[in-house]
Amino acid sequence: MPLIDRRLLSYFDWTLFAIVLMLEGLGLLTVLSASYVPSAHRMDPLFVRQLIWIGVGTLLMAGAVLFDYRALVGYSYPLYVVAVLLLIGVEVIGHSSGGSRRWINLRLFKLEPSELAKIAVMFVMVRYFRLEPPPGGWGFRHLIIPFLLLGLPTALVLKQPDLGTAIVLVLITGTLLFVSGLNWRVMAALMVAGMLAAPLSWHYLKPYQRTRLVSFIDPQADPLGSGYHIIQSEIAIGGGGSWGKGFMKGTQARLNFLPEETTDFIFAVYAEEFGLAGSLLLLGLYACLVGRGLWIARHARDRFGSLLAIGITGMIFWQVAINMMMTTGMLPVVGIPLPMISYGGSSMLVTMAGMGLLISINARRHTF
Query: By the 8 A CB rule, do 282 and 26 touch?
Result: yes
Evaluate if residue 368 carries a pLDDT over 60. no
User: Maximum Cα–Cα distance for the chain, whole Å?
Assistant: 67
Query: By the 8 A CB rule, do 79 and 115 touch?
Result: no
Whole-number percent of the chain with pLDDT over 70: 89
Q: What is the pLDDT of residues 297-334, one digit of tens each?
A: 999 999 999 999 999 999 999 999 999 999 998 888 88
CA nearest to 297, candidates 354, 251, 249, 246: 354
Q: What is the pLDDT of residues 236-282, one digit of tens each?
A: 999 989 999 999 888 887 777 888 889 899 999 999 999 999 999 99
CA nearest to 170, candidates 155, 157, 148, 154: 154
Mean residue pLDDT of the chain comes to 88
pLDDT value at position 1? 41
Most confident residue range from 227-231, 288-292, 327-331: 288-292
Relative orientation angle of helices 303-327 and 113-128, to the nearest 10 degrees = 140
Over residues 106-110, mean pLDDT: 81
Residue 273: which residues within 8 A CB-CB, separation 6 or more?
30, 33, 240, 244, 245, 246, 247, 248, 249, 250
Query: By the 8 A CB rule, do 281 and 265 touch?
Result: no
Q: Output the pTM of the full model.
A: 0.92
Please state whether the peptide bond connecting residue 161 to the residue before it is cis, i.e. omega within 30 degrees of 0. Answer: yes
Q: What is the pLDDT of residues 66-98, one digit of tens each?
A: 988 999 999 999 999 999 999 999 988 877 776
DSSP for 229-261? HHHHHHHHHHHTTTT-S-TT--STTTTT-STTT
- Sign of dihedral through CA atoms 333, 231, 228, 252? positive
Distance CA 61, CA 348 (A): 10
pLDDT value at position 40? 63
- Sign of dihedral through CA atoms 185, 188, 192, 197? positive
pLDDT value at position 98? 64
Over residues 12-30, mean pLDDT: 95
pLDDT band at residue 36, thresholds of 50, 70 and 90? confident
